[in-house]
Amino acid sequence: MSRAGTIRLLFVVLCVGALEAACRGGLISPQFVIPPSVMAAHLWQLLIDGTITADIVETLSNVLMAVILAVSVGFVCGAVLHSLPRLRRAVDPFLATYYAVPFFAFYPLLIVIFGLNALPIVTIGFLFGVVAMIISTINGLDRIPPVLLKTASVLGMGPVRTALMIKLPSAAPHLFTGTKLAIAYSFIGVIAAEFIMSSSGLGYSIAYAFNSFDNRTMYALMLFIILLVTLINAVLYMWEQAIMQRRGS
């Protein structure tokens, strides 16, 4: 592990330890926050009992569909906007203010269009993640060194070979960043949508536990989501670092 990674890990451990001590010492009421050890123990029990298995499968299925749509559509739209400067200039103001739009206001419309099923939830997750991928794709294509494109032209490389051998490898770091952001935003969109649109899923279970004053279940499910998203981002980060090292060598 790198020095920066060690420092981050120590910081997290210190924060968790401080929260544990504050909860155990009575500085924080259990009505508001429970000790992290209690969260972890209850989460383990829920996983062993299979109580939340169906909710986990449903939420992850919704997130997976939202991420696939956000990454694929975002990449295509970003590439198209990069190749059409006039269209890009027209769309730029909308991209800059996109996340100020209250997507949940479209909930009744989505229900009318798709019905009472998973599609409105997946759509919300997609809407949260797609623009992050669009912006990252545009930024990545903008930062391709012009000398590489000129070299491809001198060597007589066609558009497809140039895209596969020059543009995609050069834009890869930004595409990875867009993918990570799309995953995070899609999780946020899906979980939040399940709060108000669903009768199942992790978001619904968290809201139900909150309304029932079941702090142990609520915090256990929140801990599960935090750990899962952290693990996914860590895997993507290691994959990105491996690719960058291979390119450097």
Q: Report pLDDT for 209.
A: 92
Cβ proximity of 125 and 62 under 8 Å: yes
Q: Into how many domains does the chain fold? A: 1
**What phi, psi does 248 have (nearest 5°)?**
-65, -35
Q: What is the mean pLDDT of residues 172-192?
A: 89
Task: Work out the pLDDT band at 170, boundaries 50, 70, 90.
Answer: confident
Highest mean pLDDT among 33-47, 111-125, 163-177: 33-47
Q: Describe the chain by its helix, strand, coil percentages, rounded to 5.
A: 85, 0, 15
Vertex 87: Cα angle to 109 and 95 (nearest 5): 50
The one-letter amino acid code at 192 reads A
Q: Report pLDDT for 213.
A: 87
Q: 149 vs 86, 134, 161, 168, 172, CA distance in Å?
A: 21, 22, 11, 12, 16
Asked whether residue 44 is assigned to any structural domain, the reply reads no
Q: Which of 123-132, 140-149, 161-170, 230-239 has the lowest mean pLDDT?
A: 161-170
Task: Return the half-sphere exposure (C-beta side, CA atoms, 13 A cut-off) of residue 132.
Answer: 23
CATH code, domain carrying 132:
1.10.3720.10
Asked whether residue 156 is assigned to any structural domain, the reply reads yes
Residue 135: pLDDT over 90: yes
Q: Give pLDDT tens digits for 26-49.
A: 888 888 888 999 999 999 999 999
Asked whether residue 42 is assigned to any structural domain, the reply reads no
CA atoms of 205 and 194, how far apart (whole Å):
9
Asked whether residue 40 is assigned to any structural domain, the reply reads no
**What phi, psi does 117 have (nearest 5°)?**
-150, -165
Q: Give pLDDT tens digits for 57-74.
A: 999 999 999 999 999 999
Greater model confidence, 57 or 240: 57
Asked whether residue 31 is assigned to any structural domain, the reply reads no
CA atoms of 68 and 74, how far apart (whole Å):
10
Q: Give pLDDT tens digits for 187-212.
A: 989 998 888 877 788 999 999 998 88
For the chain, the average pLDDT equals: 86
Closest CA to 223 of 34, 7, 6: 34
Domain that holds residue 144: 52-248
| Residue carrying the six token digits 């450097």 | 248
Asked whether residue 113 is assigned to any structural domain, the reply reads yes
| Residue carrying the six token digits 């400067």 | 85
Asked whether residue 7 is assigned to any structural domain, the reply reads no
